[in-house]
A and B are shown apart, each in its own frame.
Chain A
Amino acid sequence: MPRFLTLIRLDENNLPEDGFSPEMGERMGALLKEITEAGVMLDTAALTPTSQGRRVTYSGGTLTGTDGPFTETKEVIGGYSIIQAKDLAEAEEWANRFLKVHDEVWTVTCEIRQISED
């Protein structure tokens, strides 16, 4: 049963002002319960804004570090999950459910990537 890393991408400069509505928080909680009870969720977390992050690049034998925020990409990774599902279609269904708990003011992208098991 393959494992998948889902990367939640969003535009952190255009987040809904109210953030999470209470209803959305409730729906999110219910989904988390459901996906946990299905034995699917292995690990998940939200990430702090990129302004608190750091990037280190290795190129030509030298290290270069830069502070966040990472403004050159519109969408940054705002969260992740590691799930175990039978196939990509099943992982996508869970991703759909995760996306659908968001209020309509949100624009969120879920990138689903299978974890290599070799």
Chain B
Amino acid sequence: MTTASAVEAVFRIEQARVIAAAARIVRDVGIAEEIAQDALVSALEKWPDSGVPEKPGAWLTAVAKRRAVDLVRRRENYARKLAEVGRSLEHAAEPPPAEPSPDSGPEADIDDDLLRLIFTACHPVLPTRARIALTLRLLGGLTTEEIARAFLATEAAVAQRIARAKRSLAAADVPFEVPYGPDRAARLDSVLEVVYLVFNEGYSATKGDDWVRPALCEDALRLARVLAALLPNEPEVHGLAALLELQASRIPARTGPDGSPVLLADQDRTRWNRLLIRRGFAALDRAAVPGVPPGPYVLQAAIAACHAQALRYEDTDWAVIVTLYGQLAAVRPSPVVELNRAVAVAMAEGPETGLALVDAIAGDPELKDYHLLPSVRGDLLARLGRWDAAREEFLAAAALARNDRERELLLTRAERAEQPEQPGQPGRAEQSEQAERAERAAGEPGRTGPGPDVVPGG
């Protein structure tokens, strides 16, 4: 007797592949998702009596493919696509064998289907938020409710966003394919960006009262690991995986017992997760391809690796970090990267030099409402003993911060700047972590390139 929870566990594990296999036939992710749900219903009906089949994934996929083929055949408006799919349907329509032989379809096919699904869900035709919701739904296996909770949105809004995204893909007639042409790099970038943004929302939430929402980080990390397995020859994919593994290793140390943020300089490094650090370094090794200049994610991962290597904050090799930020600024120029470079320079060469760099970019319109600009200025001014100016900056930063925890921290720092003789006065820069969240006017998360941002602390 198989319990429903066991069947559902199997389904959750297989869901993305089942959707992907169906989508290749019906060429519509929305319909494919419904078909996958139908396959789950079949399993829930049959498995409790017959037991879980030897290859449950193959069973579910075969059922879904069969339904997909039926649907394509039934619907006249799919006639054209039927021709496209052609003879492969005949093969796909075979009933699931009772005991699928190991060679019942090459693995590569399934991997390709999954990649097609990923590239489709992250298609640039969709607004960023829609890509995020659709990717978490179809590939992360999150329910609409889980996505809504993670992004502090209503379930109705998320459901609507996903439905609209599916319609947009269908309306734009987006081909269900893995791009190999000249647009591959841009398309891959779009995929990486989605995973990156999901992670960042978990890593330092843009709104609400939680400083960190680890569940979202884990969902993103899982997606990054899946990508690294499916696209082993893409250095930037390993770079993203490395970056997220290394960032995630710090999560246990990033919040104090009361939930308040703990700055990188003040973190108890014994709480960093060594397994994730080791995985991060391994991914970074895989990302290194001789003769290929490192891309933005690899460079950010290398910066994160510098922090991970330092057993104490005092051991941080700021000179190397300055160099890496220089390279990052060259491949993906953005004022946010410059801001981070300024922080590293301040650590390597002194706050005066860092402040000059910050002031040089302070007028950039992109940083106008960016709370980390005054936050960094405040920190550097405090280190120069200019308390009044520092206090003003911390207050300005607090007014711009959208995360409650972050705002509290900045207000605390403003208070301390009034009493510089107090212990606990930060005398060290807040070097940060990547979490680029320049919000567009439309409230659409966007970015000018993956930029580390100077979150107060790590």
Q: Measured between alpha carbons, how far is A38 from B9 in the docked complex, in Å? A: 13
Q: Contact check: which of A30, A39, A93, A100 meets B10 at CB < 8 Å?
A: A93
Q: Are A42 and B222 in contact (CB under 8 A)?
A: no
Flag if A90 contacts B13 (CB, 8 Å): yes
A-side interface residues, number (CB < 8 Å): 21
Contact of A84 among B9, B54, B141, B222 (CB under 8 A): B222
* 29 cross-chain CB contacts under 8 A: A1-B219, A36-B225, A36-B229, A37-B111, A37-B229, A38-B13, A38-B226, A39-B222, A39-B223, A39-B224, A39-B225, A39-B229, A40-B222, A42-B275, A43-B275, A82-B275, A84-B218, A86-B12, A86-B141, A89-B8, A89-B9, A90-B12, A90-B13, A92-B9, A93-B6, A93-B10, A93-B13, A96-B52, A100-B54
Enumerate chain B residues within 8 angstroms of A87, measured Cβ to Cβ: 9
| B164 part of interface (Cβ distance < 8 Å) | no
Chain A-chain B contacts (Cβ-Cβ < 8 Å), number: 51
A89-B111 in contact given A1-B222, A43-B275, A84-B218 (Cβ < 8 Å): no
Contacts of A39 in B (CB 8 A): 221-226, 229
Bound CA span A104–B88, Å: 36
B residues 194-243 near A (Cβ < 8 Å) are 215, 218-219, 221-226, 229-230
B279 at the A interface (CB under 8 A) = yes
CA distance A81 to B221 in the complex (A): 18
Residues of A participating in the B interface, judged by any CB pair closer than 8 Å? 1, 30, 33, 36-40, 42-43, 82, 84, 86-87, 89-90, 92-94, 96, 100
Beta-carbon nearest neighbor of B229 in chain A? A37
Complexed CA–CA distance, A98 and B82 (Å): 39
B5 interface contact, C-beta 8 A: yes
Chain A residues in 8 Å Cβ range of B8 = 89
A37 to B228, CA, bound (A): 8
Chain A residues lying within 8 Å of B223, measured Cβ to Cβ, are 39
**Closest Cβ of chain A: how far from B31's Cβ, in Å?**
24
Binary contact readout B422-446 vs A (1 if CB under 8 angstroms, 0 otherwise):
0000000000000000000000000
Chain B residues close to A by CB (< 8 Å):
5-6, 8-10, 12-13, 52, 54, 102, 107, 111, 141, 215, 218-219, 221-226, 229-230, 275, 279
Rounded to whole angstroms, the CA-CA distance of A84 and B222 in the bound complex is 9
Q: Once bound together, how far apart are the Cα atoms of A60 and B111, in whole Å?
A: 57
A24 to chain B, nearest CB (A): 12
C-alpha gap A43/B277 in the complex (Å): 12
10 closest pairs, A vs B, by CB? Answer: A39-B225, A89-B9, A39-B222, A37-B229, A1-B218, A39-B226, A90-B9, A93-B9, A89-B5, A36-B229
Q: How far is the CB of A104 from chain B (nearest CB, A)?
A: 13
Across-interface contacts of B224 in A (CB, < 8 A): 39
CA distance A89 to B6 in the complex (A): 6
Main secondary structure of the interface of B (DSSP, over half): helix
A89 to B3, CA, bound (A): 10
Q: Quote the shortest CB–CB distance from B40 to chain A (angstroms).
A: 14
Q: Which residues from chain B contact A37 at a C-beta distance below 8 Å?
A: 111, 226, 229-230
Q: Which residues on the B side are within 8 Å of A38 (C-beta)? A: 13, 226
| Chain A residue contacts of B10, Cβ below 8 A | 93
- List, in ascending order, chain A residues with CB within 8 A of B226's CB: 37-39
Q: How far is the CB of B271 from chain A (nearest CB, A)?
A: 11
Contacts of B275 in A (CB 8 A): 42-43, 82
- Please, how many angstroms separate the alpha-carbon atoms of A42 and B273 in the complex? 12
Greatest chain A CB density within 10 A among B6, B224, B279 is at B6
A37 to B110, CA, bound (A): 11
Which residue on chain A has the smallest CB distance to residue B223? Answer: A39
Quick one: given A38-B13, A42-B279, A43-B275, are A92 and B6 in contact (CB under 8 Å)? yes
Query: How far does the Cβ of A36 sit from chain B's closest Cβ, in whole Å?
Result: 5
Of chain B, the residue at the smallest CB distance from A37 is: B229
Minimum Cβ distance to chain A for residue B227 (Å)? 8
Residues of A within 8 A of B13 (CB): 38, 90, 93-94
In angstroms, Cα B102 to Cα A36, docked, is: 19
Q: Smallest Cβ distance from B216 to chain A, in angstroms?
A: 10
| CA of A39 to CA of B221, assembled, Å | 8
Instruction: List, in ascending order, chain A residues with CB within 8 A of B5's CB.
Output: 89
A72 CB, min distance to chain B CBs, angstroms: 31
Q: Which residue of B lies closest to A82 (CB)?
A: B275
Contacts of A96 in B (CB 8 A): 52
Q: A40-B222, A89-B8 are in contact. List 16 more A-B contacts (CB 8 A).
A: A1-B218, A1-B222, A33-B107, A33-B229, A37-B111, A37-B229, A38-B13, A39-B222, A39-B223, A39-B224, A42-B279, A84-B222, A90-B12, A92-B9, A93-B6, A96-B52
Residue of B nearest to A42 (CB): B275
CA distance in complex: A93, B116 (Å) = 26
Tell me the bound Cα distance from A1 to B136 in angstroms. 14
